[in-house]
A and B are shown apart, each in its own frame.
Chain A
């Protein structure tokens, strides 16, 4: 089967890949670009483990046909940190023990980033609803929610 050539920007880099039209962006990111941070937990948009930000909007990469990404700008978990510093969310997740098995962590970080980009001072309830599309089976969400709230404080008041 012939494959489609897709050009896009991922984490600030211009990239291109070949894909079958019916393939998901998630598989393209993982298999063609080697960006394994986004995970497939369900393939149906119910778990959020594949969350990415595409053209400024939080989405499940498993629901995106790979060719849709042509011309798009995408941020994945791998794009959060700078060369010498973790994103405050990443640092707060580490210090707050917000991950156990870690499989959902990239999706939570991306969803939390999308939230804080929009709403830098969310309430606990707002955090919980904003993260409702991301399933975690290990933590009971407690430490995740606390870590997002802590990161929000740190981002608002840089040291």
Chain B
């Protein structure tokens, strides 16, 4: 097996195109355990961390560009990013230990295509777009459309996720991500729930996005939960309806991490709680703005 560390996207794509057994990696936090377990057995591992654009986190006008190989810790330590996307930052900060977060990346978390990836529901509710380097230039794909099934993506072999574009949230908007794990750290999500809300001046929900992880083969967006929230004041009835819709949207499996019933039940609970956290964040920020 060969190791390559290209410094440009073109170089990386050329290496990938030239070797059907090559794979790209950033933190290798999934790839190395998988290789130890016997799959994959790549002929080449292409390290993306030497490519500047894949490692940078920057605000370009009203759009954040998050390099696909930037470590989670680059997000959790970026106060401006965390202020715009506290839920997504939380999700990145939940992936494994500090050791893992210094290597794990949003691009890797997405392309590993685990149904339980923590950052993906949080990216989806924020309408993140994946910028993909392809043979004929770059294409932009909603994050929700990248993963097609467990371990499967819509990327061609020689395509690479370069970065994620995230529009800065409008006023009165915030997000939250919660997951259920048996321990306090180090586990894979049994259920994950990302919620983004926009509140109008009277405190009612004017826009909502809800996405669930680990409850179906891919991340599930839950329009019925969103509809239940929109127009509401996040009263108990609306929250209960959103929770019920989230539970209904699950198509989970029984496995070593949880049961079907458990996942359904907890998906609703986490949706309700995440909505509450997102709303509190908006109110707190509005309160601060009002005070200043």
The answer to whether A and B interact is yes
- B-contacting residues of A (Cβ < 8 Å)? 4, 20-22, 24, 43-46, 48, 51, 57-60, 62-65, 67-68, 70, 111, 114-115, 129-130, 132-134
| B262 adjacent to chain A (CB < 8 Å) | no
17 A–B pairs (Cβ distance < 8 Å), ordered by A: A21-B1, A21-B3, A22-B45, A24-B32, A45-B97, A46-B186, A60-B99, A60-B103, A62-B32, A63-B27, A63-B32, A68-B5, A68-B49, A114-B98, A129-B184, A132-B185, A133-B100
In addition to A46-B186, A115-B98, A133-B98, 7 A-B residue pairs with Cβ atoms within 8 Å of each other are A22-B35, A44-B36, A45-B29, A45-B100, A111-B99, A132-B185, A133-B186
- A-contacting residues of B (Cβ < 8 Å)? 1-3, 5, 27-29, 32-33, 35-36, 45, 47, 49, 71, 73, 96-100, 102-103, 184-186
In the complex, the chain B residue whose C-beta lies closest to that of A2 is B2
Q: What CA separation (Å) do A62 and B29 show in the bound complex? A: 10
Chain A residues within 8 Å of B36, by CB: 43-44
Q: Does A45 lie within 8 Å of B73, measured CB to CB? A: no
Q: Does A65 lie within 8 Å of B45, measured CB to CB? A: yes
Task: From the candidates B3, B32, B103, name the one contacting A44 in the complex (CB within 8 A).
Answer: B32
Q: What CA separation (Å) do A41 and B278 show in the bound complex? A: 39
A133 in contact with B3 given A57-B73, A63-B32, A65-B47 (CB within 8 Å): no
Q: Does A63 lie within 8 Å of B1, measured CB to CB? A: no
Q: Does B29 lie within 8 Å of A63, measured CB to CB? A: yes
- Closest 10 pairs (CB-CB, A-B): A133-B97, A132-B185, A21-B3, A44-B33, A57-B102, A22-B1, A67-B3, A133-B99, A60-B99, A63-B32
Least CB distance from A22 to B in Å reads 4
Q: Does B96 lie within 8 Å of A45, measured CB to CB? A: yes
Q: What CA separation (Å) do A130 and B99 show in the bound complex? A: 9
In the complex, the chain A residue whose C-beta lies closest to that of B100 is A45
A58 in contact with B5 given A44-B32, A44-B33, A63-B28 (CB within 8 Å): no
Least CB distance from B144 to A in Å reads 28
Q: Does A58 lie within 8 Å of B28, measured CB to CB? A: no
Q: Does B47 lie within 8 Å of A68, measured CB to CB? A: yes
Chain A residues within 8 Å of B186, by CB: 46, 132-133
Chain B residues within 8 Å of A43, by CB: 32-33, 36
Least CB distance from B257 to A in Å reads 15
Q: What CA separation (Å) do A84 and B193 show in the bound complex? A: 52
Chain A residues within 8 Å of B103, by CB: 59-60, 63-64
Q: Does B102 lie within 8 Å of A65, measured CB to CB? A: no
Task: From the candidates A68, A114, A134, name the one contacting B3 in the complex (CB within 8 A).
Answer: A68
Chain B residues within 8 Å of A21, by CB: 1-3, 45
Q: Does A58 lie within 8 Å of B98, measured CB to CB? A: yes
A132 in contact with B97 given A22-B1, A44-B32, A63-B27 (CB within 8 Å): yes
A132 in contact with B184 given A51-B99, A58-B98, A68-B5 (CB within 8 Å): yes
Chain B residues within 8 Å of A24, by CB: 32
Chain B residues within 8 Å of A67, by CB: 3, 5
Q: Does A48 lie within 8 Å of B99, measured CB to CB? A: yes
Q: What CA separation (Å) do A60 and B104 show in the bound complex? A: 11
A58 in contact with B33 given A45-B96, A65-B3, A132-B186 (CB within 8 Å): no
A48 in contact with B45 given A59-B103, A132-B185, A133-B185 (CB within 8 Å): no
Residue among A43, A58, A63, A129 having the largest count of chain B Cβ atoms under 10 Å: A63
Q: What CA separation (Å) do A57 and B27 show in the bound complex? A: 12
Chain B residues within 8 Å of A68, by CB: 3, 5, 47, 49
Q: What CA separation (Å) do A51 and B47 show in the bound complex? A: 20
Q: Does A48 lie within 8 Å of B97, measured CB to CB? A: yes
In the complex, the chain B residue whose C-beta lies closest to that of A114 is B98
Q: Does A59 lie within 8 Å of B99, measured CB to CB? A: yes
Chain A residues within 8 Å of B2, by CB: 21
In the complex, the chain A residue whose C-beta lies closest to that of B2 is A21
Chain A residues within 8 Å of B102, by CB: 57-59
Q: What CA separation (Å) do A44 and B184 show in the bound complex? A: 19
Q: What CA separation (Å) do A57 and B71 show in the bound complex? A: 10
